[in-house]
Each structure stands twice: as structure tokens, then as C-alpha cells.
Amino acid sequence: MSKYRYFMFDPNDGFETYQFAEQAESAAQEAIDWYRGEACDGWDEQVDQVCWGEIKQNTVQVGLRPRTEEDNGDCDMICDYQLSDI
């Protein structure tokens, strides 16, 4: 289980994860404050993409096995991925 259950997204800094909701919300507010400080020319179109929330699922590795002759590729191991509840 991932200890990072919350996220914040800002077009300038990308996707970041946090352990606590308060941290993610604070980071989003800081990003908005930065846009506000840069807003001398008006509304920045990117500020409406700033968001934070709870991560419901993440990707996990499943079905790890040695490669057989029937498999394509040069890898020694084969696996798949799927979304899993956190």
C-alpha cells in the first residue's frame, strides 16, 4: 500500500504526491499564490489546471514470470500492469 494517498498538480511543477490531505491542499494554494503574484498581465490560462485530491488507485506489477520462447522481445522476465485500489 502506498503511503502517498494525496496529490497536487500544477502545470509548472507537474504531479506531486503527499502523505496528508493538508499537505496537498497547501501545495495547491501555494501554486495559486504564485500565479497570483505573476498576474500583472491578467488571468494566466494555466492556473485553472491547479488541483489537488485523493489518489484512489495506482499501478501495480502483476504476473511476473520468466520469458518463454513464445514471448516476443529480448527481456528475461515478462510482466503486466493493472490499476489497484490504494
Same domain, 21 and 48: yes
Q: How many CB atoms lie within 10 A of CB 52?
A: 20
Same domain, 48 and 63: no
User: What's the 3-state SS for 27-76?
Assistant: HHHHHHHHHHHCHHHCCCHHHHHCEEEECCEEEEEEEEEECCCCCCCCCC
Q: For the chain, how many structural domains are there in total?
A: 2
Q: What is the reported pTM?
A: 0.75
Could you tell me the residue range of the domain that residue 72 belongs to? Answer: 56-86
Same domain, 31 and 51: yes
Same domain, 6 and 39: yes
Please list the pLDDT of the chain residue by residue as tens digits (86 residues): 578 999 999 999 999 999 999 999 999 999 999 988 877 777 778 899 999 999 999 999 999 999 988 888 888 999 999 999 98
Same domain, 45 and 64: no
Same domain, 61 and 36: no
Same domain, 62 and 51: no
Same domain, 32 and 66: no
Same domain, 48 and 67: no
